[in-house]
């Protein structure tokens, strides 16, 4: 399987048309292990597989990391062989089925005189490992899983045959195989289509072939490579595009005595060559890497006289563009990926301490940007992954250790998350190194009616940050919106949680009232009410003292609403608890309704002729309760001014006039009248005249 085929559709990121250095944000290092390879499942978990050798034997180690780089489990499988002089092993490739991770291994002694093939698997949930010998394969070249089928490709130690061997994906039991040739066979390339058919390239003395093998082990077809005007054709890498029913292949051939790159497109149905030849006309080189975009075409890297170039071809093999040659590649993994915009990125080692990535426009093949991930010491790149956020995950091999490192170009942060709808939030783009030139980022919201953002925001030259506002809308229920930022193939996204406004408080003004007064209650929300408003339920612990409406509505866009409280007259001061409820949230407030107090009395009229009846006006500061409010009365001259011992202000009233009887007098006299209730005393004077 081609390198790009294993990682197709994974996003790769660059940030500028200039060279860009990316820092390592975390790195997990494991000593005394080798052969690091990483693969990812559909949930962004990563699986790092290595070879560990020690006094106890030889082991395949698998570690599962989540998207944050946190170790979930570590398991190992003992793959110690029966070889006489144990040395080491190497991983020929990884595959993922959805529930298991698979690795094809070659175990060998010091001088590769003896080798043994192995297949191992690890359960992605529990880590439980299995192993099985590849009984017909001594040296594995590749592994594949597709269409529910699991297969290895390789050759035997005696070079007598090249083999495709199918295994049960659950038990790893061998279920079928196909073998080819009898004379110095070298297995060179392998890939599978979406139905689980295998495509296998191998070389014999004097010829090279491409064959299709079905999961039953039968050979659907076999074709000898024969490109026009070329000899010694041989493939080093193949990849399948099931949607276009073609097999792409690259390798080398001879044009006379000169090596030239060989590029071919074959029909998956018949094996016949749709195109085969030296596509770019270069000499002194060979094909190295393939990257397929289903139904569209293929990207190819070729080695040309010590340098490299890339080209793109259609599913029919027609040339779309070529790049100028470039140098700087060293040993280690080469591979293709695509960024968020569908452009091509080619990753490789430029030195023992640096991995470089070159991003090319798919439209014309022009170099758009380059960036680098450095290592602190000499290393070899095992392989790499990228994620939709544009982060890199590099499996690297050092002198006595291996590591999985994460390099992050940029990040998107929601400064204020869990924001109440109707209020604003703030987003921030952060680069890990200053922008070499102004970067215009495009901004997007998955639902602009709920959370809107500007169309763009600029990260200025030499800056690392840019802020932008997020305007939210009030919601009837909690919701979530994805905020995204894009630039140069990078696609960052974060989730903004928008909360519906909930009940914050209930207040009363004034907190102390007299019966008959109408204080104001107010309910407040944590934010603006949505379009339909918010209905808040109201209750009173003593509705006969302080009555409230059954509910009050906070109107759309408002964060509070007021309501009137109807108080009744009471004989004694009363405490009342008012409760407001919205959904499952309740808030309370304590208020007081006080009994009315005597405020004043007045003789009406102030002068009465003896023997006539006058009046005494009694005034309260609040309404009288049920049964009235009795006031005690006293006359300063009871023989002249005759009063009832008490007189009640009627229920619901604040004033009443009590009768004042007088007797005849010979001279005018001023008489003081006293009134009292609950310790409050009031007086007035009435003049009785002859």
What's the domain range around 614? 598-689
pLDDT score at 43:
86
CB within 8 A of 318, min separation 6: which ones? 275
The b/e string for 69-97 (b: 16+ C-beta within 10 A; e otherwise) is beeeeebbbebebebeebeebbbbbbbbb
**pLDDT tens digits, one per residue of 244-292:** 999 999 999 999 999 999 999 999 999 999 999 999 999 988 988 999 9
Inter-CA distances, 534 with 26, 419, 471, 525, Å: 47, 18, 21, 9
Give how many domains the chain has, as a whole number: 4
Q: What are phi and psi of 4, to 5 degrees?
A: -65, -35
Cα separation, 411 vs 675, in Å, equals: 80
Judge whether residue 427 has pLDDT over 50.
yes
Q: Any idea what the CATH number is for the domain that residue 220 is in?
A: 2.130.10.10
* DSSP bridge pairs for 556: 529
Cis peptide before 510 (omega within 30 of 0): yes
Domain co-membership, 510 together with 608: no
CB 557 within 8 A of CB 529: yes
Nearest to 608 by CA among 637, 579, 570: 637
Residues 135 and 258 occupy one common structural domain? yes
Give tens-digit pLDDT for 301-342.
999 888 899 999 999 999 999 999 988 888 777 888 777 777
545: how many CB neighbours lie within 10 A of its CB?
Answer: 20
Q: Are residues 315 and 424 both part of a single domain? A: no
**Considering only CA atoms, which of 200, 227, 203, 132 is closest in space to residue 170?**
132
Residues 111 and 137 in one domain: yes
Share of the chain above pLDDT 90, in %: 72
What is residue 627's three-state secondary structure? coil
Confidence band of 489 (pLDDT split at 50, 70, 90): confident
Is residue 27 within 8 Å of 440, Cβ to Cβ? no
Q: What is the pLDDT of residue 86?
A: 57
Task: Decide if 492 contacts 432 (C-beta within 8 A).
Answer: no
Residues 263 and 391 reside in one and the same domain: yes
Confidence at 68, pLDDT banded by 50, 70, 90: confident
The residue from 533, 567, 594 where one domain ends is: 594
Contact 689, 609 (CB under 8 A): yes
Task: Please check whether residues 210 and 358 belong to one and the same domain.
Answer: yes
- Domain end (from 594, 614, 644): 594
Chain mean pLDDT for the chain: 90
Cα distance between the two ends of the chain:
130
CB 236 within 8 A of CB 207: no
Q: Are residues 484 and 370 in the same domain?
A: no
Residues 30 and 101 in one domain: yes
User: How do residues 102-132 score in pLDDT, each as one tens digit?
Assistant: 999 998 876 666 788 999 999 999 999 999 9
Domain boundary among the residues 567, 594, 621 is at: 594
Predicted confidence (pLDDT) at residue 84 exceeds the cutoff of 50: yes
Q: How far apart are CA 188 and CA 180, in angstroms?
A: 13
Phi/psi of residue 545, each to 5°? -100, -45
Strands 560-564, 520-525: pairing kind:
antiparallel
CA dihedral 558, 562, 563, 565 (to 10 degrees): 160
Is the per-residue pLDDT at 9 higher than 70? Answer: no
Asked if 536 and 495 sit in the same domain, the reply is: no
Q: What is the pLDDT of residue 8?
A: 30
Backbone angles phi, psi at 458, to 5 degrees: -105, 135
Considering the domain architecture, whether residues 460 and 381 belong to the same structural domain is answered as no
What is the C-alpha to C-alpha distance for residues 166 and 121, in angstroms, rounded to an integer?
14
Closest CA to 677 of 572, 532, 520: 572
**3-state secondary structure at position 5:** helix
Over residues 132-178, the pLDDT tens digits come to 999 889 899 999 999 999 999 998 877 778 999 999 999 999 999 99
Check if the beta carbon of residue 50 is closer than 8 Å to that of residue 32. no
Q: pTM of whole model > 0.85?
A: no
* 476 burial level (CB within 10 Å; 0-12, 13-18, 19+): middle
DSSP state at residue 11 = B
- Where does the pLDDT of residue 631 fall: very low under 50, low under 70, confident under 90, or very high at 90 and above? very high
pLDDT at 18: 43
* 590 vs 138, residue with greater confidence: 590
For residue 518, which phi and psi values (nearest 5 degrees)? -120, 85
SS3 for 554-602 is ECECCCEEEEECEECCCCCCEEEEEEEEECCEEEEEEEEEECCCEEEEE
Give yes or no for residue 87 having a pLDDT over 50.
yes
84: left (phi over 0), alpha (psi -120 to 50) or beta: alpha
Q: What is the CATH number of the domain that holds 627?
A: 2.60.40.10
Whether residue 252 is found in the same domain as residue 358:
yes
Give Cβ neighbours of residue 566 (< 8 Å, ≥ 6 apart).
Answer: 518, 546, 547, 548
| Same-domain status, 10 and 33 | yes
């Amino acid at each position: 399987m081609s390198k790009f085929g294993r990682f197709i559709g994974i996003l790769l990121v660059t940030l500028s048309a200039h060279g860009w250095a990316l820092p390592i944000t975390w790195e997990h290092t494991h000593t005394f292990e080798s052969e690091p390879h990483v693969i990812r499942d559909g949930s962004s978990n990563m699986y790092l597989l290595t070879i560990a050798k020690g006094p106890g034997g030889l082991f395949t180690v698998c570690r599962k990391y989540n998207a944050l780089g946190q170790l979930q489990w570590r398991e190992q499988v003992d793959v110690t062989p029966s070889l006489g002089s144990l040395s080491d092993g190497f991983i020929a490739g990884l595959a993922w089925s959805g529930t298991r991770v698979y690795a094809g291994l070659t175990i060998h002694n010091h001088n590769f005189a003896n080798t043994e093939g192995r297949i191992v698997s690890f359960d992605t949930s529990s880590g439980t490992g299995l192993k099985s010998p590849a009984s017909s394969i001594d040296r594995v070249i590749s592994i594949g899983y597709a269409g529910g089928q699991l297969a290895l490709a390789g050759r035997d130690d005696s070079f007598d045959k090249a083999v495709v061997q199918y295994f049960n994906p659950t038990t790893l039991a061998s279920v079928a195989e196909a073998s080819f040739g009898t004379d110095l066979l070298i297995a060179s390339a392998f890939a599978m289509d979406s139905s689980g058919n295998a495509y296998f390239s191998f070389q014999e003395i004097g010829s090279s072939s491409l064959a299709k093998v079905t999961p039953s082990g039968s050979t659907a077809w076999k074709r000898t490579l024969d490109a026009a005007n070329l000899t010694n054709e041989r493939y080093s890498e193949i990849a399948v595009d099931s949607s276009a029913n073609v097999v792409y292949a690259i390798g080398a051939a001879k044009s006379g005595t000169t090596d030239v790159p060989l590029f071919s497109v074959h029909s998956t149905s018949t094996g016949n060559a749709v195109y085969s030849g030296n596509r770019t006309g270069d000499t002194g080189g060979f094909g190295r890497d393939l990257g397929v975009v289903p139904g569209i075409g293929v990207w190819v890297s070729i080695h040309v006289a010590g340098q490299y170039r890339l080209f793109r071809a259609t599913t029919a093999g027609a040339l779309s563009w070529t790049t100028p040659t470039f140098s700087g590649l060293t040993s280690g993994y080469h591979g293709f990926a695509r960024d968020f915009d569908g452009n091509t990125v080619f990753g490789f080692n430029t030195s023992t301490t640096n991995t470089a990535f070159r991003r090319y426009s798919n439209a014309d093949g022009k170099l758009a940007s380059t960036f680098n991930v450095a290592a602190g010491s000499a290393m070899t790149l095992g392989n790499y992954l990228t994620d939709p956020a544009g982060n890199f995950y590099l499996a690297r091999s050092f002198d006595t250790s291996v590591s999985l490192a994460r390099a992050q170009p940029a990040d998107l942060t929601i400064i204020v998350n869990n924001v109440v709808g109707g209020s604003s939030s703030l987003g921030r783009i952060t680069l890990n190194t200053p922008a070499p030139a102004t970067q215009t980022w495009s901004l997007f919201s998955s639902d602009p009616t709920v959370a809107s953002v500007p169309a763009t925001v600029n990260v200025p030259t030499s800056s690392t940050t840019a802020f932008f506002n997020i305007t939210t809308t009030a919601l009837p229920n909690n919701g979530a919106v994805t905020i995204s930022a894009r630039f140069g193939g990078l696609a960052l996204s974060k989730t903004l949680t928008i909360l519906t406004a909930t009940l914050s408080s209930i207040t009363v003004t004034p907190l102390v009232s007299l019966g008959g007064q109408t204080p104001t209650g107010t309910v407040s929300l944590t934010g603006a009410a949505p379009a339909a408003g918010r209905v808040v339920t109201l209750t009173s612990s003593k509705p006969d003292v302080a009555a409230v409406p059954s509910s009050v509505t906070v109107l759309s866009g408002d964060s509070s609403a007021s309501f009137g409280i109807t108080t009744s007259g009471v004989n004694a001061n009363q405490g009342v608890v008012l409760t407001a409820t919205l959904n499952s949230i309740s808030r309370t407030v304590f208020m007081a309704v006080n009994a009315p107090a005597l405020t004043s009395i007045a003789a009406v009229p102030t002068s009465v002729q003896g023997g006539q009846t006058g009046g005494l006006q009694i005034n309260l500061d609040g309404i009288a309760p049920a049964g009235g409010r009795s006031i005690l009365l006293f006359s300063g001259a009871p023989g002249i001014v005759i009063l009832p011992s008490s007189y009640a202000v009627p229920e619901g009233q604040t004033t009443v006039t009590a009768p004042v009887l007088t007797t005849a007098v010979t001279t005018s006299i001023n008489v003081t009248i006293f009134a009292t209730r609950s310790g409050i005393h009031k007086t007035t004077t009435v003049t009785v005249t002859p």
